[in-house]
Amino acid sequence: MTHVPTVTLVGAGPGDAELLTIKAVKALRRATVALVDDLVDPGVLRYLRRGTRVVHVGKRGGCASTPQAFIHKLMVAEAQRGETVVRVKGGDPFVFGRGGEECDALRAAGLHVEVVSGLTAGIAGPAAIGLPVTDRRHSRGVALVTGHAGTDGGEPDWAALARCGLTLVIYMGVMRLPVIVDALRVAGMAGDTPAALVSRAHTPAQRQALCRLGTLVDTVAAQGLQSPCIVVIGDVVQAAPMWAGQGAAAPQITAAHQATG
């Protein structure tokens, strides 16, 4: 029976290497070649065995990135050479991680694919400041949405999202916040809707801020928050410990990485 090579897509989580799953660590230890995204924390790589070849294939919103087609070809070529290939991605491969595209390319080449899920930043990022994205006292659910416009110029339906009553968790949205905020306000979302930003979650460089929808753009500028950054909009932001006692104004609050327990 012919052996069919397997490529493993590993979700490395939002930052802290200790948030890796046991299954992810086992996959990393088996690898002889690791293709690593730019957002993967360097601490994750300590779980690779000695001699594993690491290929950095940078992928970060708003920056020059390795072409996706090249990544597909490299994974296929290395697997067909007999290497044990692991594709290491920040967060979860199937949440804005192009994991579906990579699986399709690998299967089209006749390879097996295994996906090891990771903590996605849209859940783990807010959790880093004690913010639950769902809480029955504030929110009936959560919508994970990209802030990027599509290659065809298409946008998420911000008007529908403004009316849905769900917590909005926006990935890759910092550079387009003026457009996003305007669209939500035009659709009727109140300017005093609570909002939070968490940049570089679960790393020593973590920073965060709480504000209102109407001051979201100014908060990013004033605090110098940069990608990777998760934006949370909705009443559930009031459940964050940092919100308590801030009153209606909810002044901007920025701090370094800290435990929430």
* Residues with catalytic function: 37, 59, 172
Encoded amino acid at 223, one letter: Q
DSSP state of 200: S
Sequence-ordered strand ranges (E) for the chain: 6-11, 33-36, 53-56, 85-89, 112-116, 142-146, 167-171, 194-199, 207-212, 229-233
What DSSP element (H or E) covers 22? Answer: helix 22-30
DSSP string, 130-177: T--S-BTTTBS-EEEEE-SPPTTS----HHHHHHS-SEEEEES-GGGH
Neighbour tally for 87: CB within 10 Å = 31
